[in-house]
Structure 1
Amino acid sequence: MFREEPKSNGITVVIREVWAWNIESEFAIISSLIDKYPFISMDTEFPGVIYRSDPRKKKNRGSGSGSGDDLYRLLKSNVDELNLIQLGLTLSDASGNLPHLNNPNNQCYIWEFNFSDFDVDRDPHAADSVHLLTQQGIDFQRNKKEGVDSLTFAELIMSSGLLCNHSVSWVTFHSAYDFAYLIKILTRRPLPSSLLDFLAITRVSRAVGKSHQAGSDSLLTWHAFQKMVHLFFRNHLPHNHSGVIYGLHLYSY
């Protein structure tokens, strides 16, 4: 359940390993800490990528990045096909302090969730990625036997206070795939490929008119935006997205 890492400044960081048999108690601990430690850093481990971009499409593009559509299609193809292996969470306060759980031995804690969804003997994966993860100590057979089912994880994280909480700030690095896998787990379906997919996930229905008619689609877009703000931003307008126009702003990973 615990794995200690070398001491830094007299403090030992302990990785709390989360499995099927202790996930409820660990989420209970995390929930009790969010108000004091509202900065959440996330990282995931997954079995590589099996679909890659065509290098011929990168010619004459300067930075070498494809269009936003191309990048999203590539991400979606991989995430839809593959399964998550691990998800790590680090909780911190504004000063960078990690939770110590009233431990008198200068120990502080972070969390590592191990999932059972990926079967190395059966599921598609990139062999070099799985080899690297094996070298780094991930026991795929133990994950398959003792790991967390992603449905259980989704139910518990939704009620934990980590999501739909305006006081929480998420910290990630090149996180397109990290958030994509999280969305896949939470929605229990492939990533949305269109507005209609998004509407099905969020249960927004057309109020009037027909699809591909401008008036009807404009109202539907507004209702989808309202639902998104309610679900993901706790009814606070996401001002940091203001001025971002789809197709003109590329992301990279």
Structure 2
Amino acid sequence: MNIENVYAGNLALAFQRISQIIQRYNYISIDTEFPGYFKDSFELSKQLNKPLQSSTTFDVFKNNINNLKLIQFGIAFSDANGNSPKPAAFQFNFKFDIERDVIEPQSRQFLKESFNSSELERLKYEGICPVNFSNYFLQSGLVANANLKWFLFHGNQDIGYLIRALVFSDIVTQNELKERINRMFPLIYDIKTTFGWDFGLNALSQQEGVGREGTEHQAGSDALLTLRIAMKKKEWGERGIYWGNDM
């Protein structure tokens, strides 16, 4: 399997390997899995039992990022010619309890379909502590490295969850978030924007004839598929994140 699962027990080893991998494989994509998206901040406010401001689309976005847990983080690697290391991707699995943690109601069944019962048990008992993930990530050479090129697919939430996981403070304004992105990941491309694509990742992969490894809607598989599409087309255009029309 080209995707390595990472839990608390092999977290340190995974980042040791990543620090070595990026010396040669400096094209990187990421993806995340999280417990749904509350379009209605009032519903999220009820679950959290605290007030939330929601006057703008960005307010709704940050309310989700600031209050929901990251379930998975996927990261994949390639060189400039599309060659990948072994493994080609790592899938970090965070501590998450589907019965106790906040989940967007319609996403509960989706998560149960995306993760089997044993995987959900491992998340609960063997999942990664976010503090440990942040510490290893920040020391790995991945951050503020001008030699690395980063790729996402409609990645506003992916990069939002990653930034919050790394800095351990709430997102407050869009400008603040963009400044952090530019500082920590200076060369970042959202292929949904750069390719002018209006549909989902699977549809783009089918059009480009790029096959998937692993399971759809798991972060390692989606990250690897995103990178393989990016490396096939190599028409990235301007860097930046796809934020949507009103965010």
- State the TM-score, normalized to the length of structure 1: 0.63
Say whether residues 1:71 and 2:57 are aligned partners.
yes
- The AA in structure 1 aligned to 2:59 is R
How far does residue 74 in structure 1 lie from its aligned partner after superposition?
Answer: 1.3
Say whether residues 1:87 and 2:85 are aligned partners.
no
- The AA in structure 1 aligned to 2:12 is E
How far does residue 109 in structure 1 lie from its aligned partner after superposition?
Answer: 3.0
How far does residue 144 in structure 1 lie from its aligned partner after superposition?
Answer: 1.6
Is the 1:90–1:111 Cα contact (8 Å) retained in structure 2? Answer: yes
Say whether residues 1:119 and 2:97 are aligned partners.
yes
Q: Give the direction of change, closer, same or farther, for the CA distance of 1:228–1:79 in structure 2 (3 Å limit).
A: closer
Distance (whole Å) between structure 1 residues aligned to residue 78 and residue 173 of structure 2: 34
Distance (whole Å) between structure 2 residues aligned to residue 89 and residue 231 of structure 1: 16
Distance (whole Å) between structure 1 residues aligned to residue 90 and residue 164 of structure 2: 20
Provide the secondary structure at the position in 1 that maps to 2:9. Answer: coil
Distance (whole Å) between structure 2 residues aligned to residue 158 and residue 228 of structure 1: 14
**Counterpart position of 1:18:** 6
Could you list the per-position Cα deviations for residues 62-118 of structure 1 after superposition, in whole angstroms to 9, with x for gaps in the alignment?
Answer: xxxxxxx82311110111110000011110111111103xxxxxxx431100001x3
Distance (whole Å) between structure 1 residues aligned to residue 89 and residue 185 of structure 2: 25
Could you list the per-position Cα deviations for residues 186-225 of structure 1 after superposition, in whole angstroms to 9, with x for gaps in the alignment?
Answer: 1112112387xx5xx9xxxxxxxxxxxxxxxxxxxxxxx7
- The AA in structure 2 aligned to 1:125 is I
Distance (whole Å) between structure 1 residues aligned to residue 32 and residue 151 of structure 2: 13
Is the 2:28–2:150 Cα contact (8 Å) retained in structure 1? Answer: yes
Say whether residues 1:170 and 2:170 are aligned partners.
no
Provide the secondary structure at the position in 2 that maps to 1:157. Answer: helix
Is the 2:26–2:79 Cα contact (8 Å) retained in structure 1? Answer: yes
- The AA in structure 2 aligned to 1:72 is F
**Counterpart position of 2:39:** 51
Gapped runs of 5+ residues in structure 2?
Answer: 43-54, 188-237
Q: Which has the higher contact order (CA 8 A, sep 6+)?
A: 2
**Counterpart position of 1:29:** 17
Distance (whole Å) between structure 1 residues aligned to residue 115 and residue 127 of structure 2: 15
**Counterpart position of 1:222:** none
Provide the secondary structure at the position in 1 that maps to 2:106. Answer: helix
Structure with the higher helix share, 1 or 2: 2
Is the 2:72–2:94 Cα contact (8 Å) retained in structure 1? Answer: yes
Match of 1:97 among 83, 96, 101: 83
Is the 1:49–1:126 Cα contact (8 Å) retained in structure 2? Answer: yes
Who wins on radius of gyration, i.e. which is larger? 1
Match of 1:144 among 124, 127, 130: 124
Q: Give the direction of change, closer, same or farther, for the CA distance of 1:143–1:241 in structure 2 (3 Å limit).
A: closer
Provide the secondary structure at the position in 2 that maps to 1:51. Answer: coil
- The AA in structure 1 aligned to 2:66 is D
Is the 1:37–1:99 Cα contact (8 Å) retained in structure 2? Answer: yes
Is the 1:82–1:124 Cα contact (8 Å) retained in structure 2? Answer: yes
RMSD: 3.1
Is the 2:58–2:174 Cα contact (8 Å) retained in structure 1? Answer: no
How far does residue 21 in structure 1 lie from its aligned partner after superposition?
Answer: 0.4
Q: Give the direction of change, closer, same or farther, for the CA distance of 1:74–1:96 in structure 2 (3 Å limit).
A: same
Report percent identity of matched pairs.
32
**Counterpart position of 2:227:** none
Could you list the per-position Cα deviations for residues 125-184 of structure 1 after superposition, in whole angstroms to 9, with x for gaps in the alignment?
Answer: 123323222212352221021011111111111111111100001100001100111111
Q: Give the direction of change, closer, same or farther, for the CA distance of 1:129–1:52 in structure 2 (3 Å limit).
A: same
Distance (whole Å) between structure 2 residues aligned to residue 182 and residue 130 of structure 1: 22
- State the TM-score, normalized to the length of structure 2: 0.64
Match of 2:26 among 24, 38, 55: 38
Distance (whole Å) between structure 2 residues aligned to residue 233 and residue 241 of structure 1: 9
Say whether residues 1:159 and 2:139 are aligned partners.
yes
- The AA in structure 2 aligned to 1:120 is I
